[in-house]
Amino acid sequence: MIPVTPAEWLPVLTARLDAAQPRISLLRRYVDGDAPLPEMGKNVRASWQRFQRQSRVNLATKISSSLAERLIPNGIDVGSNTDSDVVAARKGSGAITASKVWSLRKPPITC
């Protein structure tokens, strides 16, 4: 049976997220600089970790930052109406305030 309602979709999507969690955790370890170590004795572990920190190129950080650098925000959307002139002209609307804040701040994109 194909899920239709949000209540029916919740267990399906939760199961998909749960199934992907081990892979996501491994990738997060690579990003954090805590990649899995090879099999070794306990007395070699500290020196191997020190060697890895000195020699590792963290490509995961470069990959995620390159995606963030290509994002160019156009602005923000306030209200449910897609006609921004109508929303901005409406008295009491937060669109004018949001536009001023956006113009003054020009928030940077962070990853």
90 shares a domain with 61: no
Flag whether pLDDT at 95 surpasses 90.
no
pLDDT for position 91: 46
58 shares a domain with 27: yes
pLDDT for position 66: 72
15 shares a domain with 45: yes
What is the number of structural domains in the chain? 2
Distance in angstroms (rounded) separating the CA atoms of residues 100 and 111 = 24
50 shares a domain with 6: yes
52 shares a domain with 91: no
Distance in angstroms (rounded) separating the CA atoms of residues 59 and 48 = 19
70 or 12, which is more confident: 12
pLDDT for position 39: 77
Q: What is the pTM of this model?
A: 0.40
Helices (DSSP H) in the chain: which residue ranges? 6-31, 45-55, 59-69, 84-89, 95-105
User: How do residues 14-63 score in pLDDT, each as one tens digit?
Assistant: 999 999 999 989 888 887 877 787 777 777 878 877 777 777 666 777 77
